[in-house]
Amino acid sequence: MRLDRYTVGQYSPGAPLWQQVAWYYLGLPIVKSHWIVGSGFKCTVLRWFGAQIGEGVRIKPGLKIKFPWRLVVGDFVWLGEDCWIDNVAMVTIDTQTCISQGVYLCTGNHDWSSPTFDLKDLPIHIGSGCWIAAKATIGPGVTVGDGAVLCLGSVTGRSLDPMTVYAGNPAQPIKQRKIAAIPDAVLAADKDVS
């Protein structure tokens, strides 16, 4: 390879330089903070920098996000401690999904067949009701189907089918996911609250 000839080609970070610098020195330290433990202010900061954040989102300490303007998070999503959303391309996380501690979401890669190691960026889309367990890794261009589970420490560079549990490196399907019905008492309590 000739890394001395590497360029990013047509790639752009998607925001002006002032916004990137402000994020790096102001926004990111707040979102990563272990001193600020509440999610509400961190969600507000992410919105200031262009992220689309739903209601009821929980953010644990240590969350690292490369570019918030390339992040869409649905309602009632949990973002675990020390997650790294390395989003040189768009990352979308749909509602009611849990991203556990230490998860790595990687949207960037390189063309190892190119003599100049060209950058490749592909989005990640994680569906509703998913669980990406601790220390799991998802690579560029992956779509995780609704209700899928990626088990502890598993790695995938391929899309995952809905309602399927995956484990290993590379992740393989191990069984179908079955979710118990919500008890009537819980549903009735939800109606009373609304």
Query: Which amino acid, residue 183?
Result: P
Residue 187 has a pLDDT of 67
**The two structure tokens encoding residue 137:** 């890794």
Using the Cα atoms of residue 39, residue 40, residue 43 and residue 45 in order, give the sign of their dihedral.
Answer: negative
- Closest listed residue to residue 63, CA positions, set 27, 95, 96: 27
Query: Which amino acid, residue 180?
Result: A
- Residue 92 CA to residue 132 CA, distance in Å, equals 14
pLDDT string in tens for the chain (194-residue length): 888 888 887 889 999 999 999 999 999 999 999 998 789 999 999 999 999 999 999 999 999 999 999 999 999 999 999 999 999 999 999 999 999 999 999 999 988 888 888 888 999 999 999 999 999 999 999 999 999 999 999 999 999 999 999 999 999 999 999 888 777 776 677 676 66
Dihedral of the alpha carbons of 143, 149, 153, 155, in degrees to the nearest 10: -30
Residue 194 has a pLDDT of 60
Ranges of H-type helices in the chain: 17-22, 28-32, 39-48, 184-193
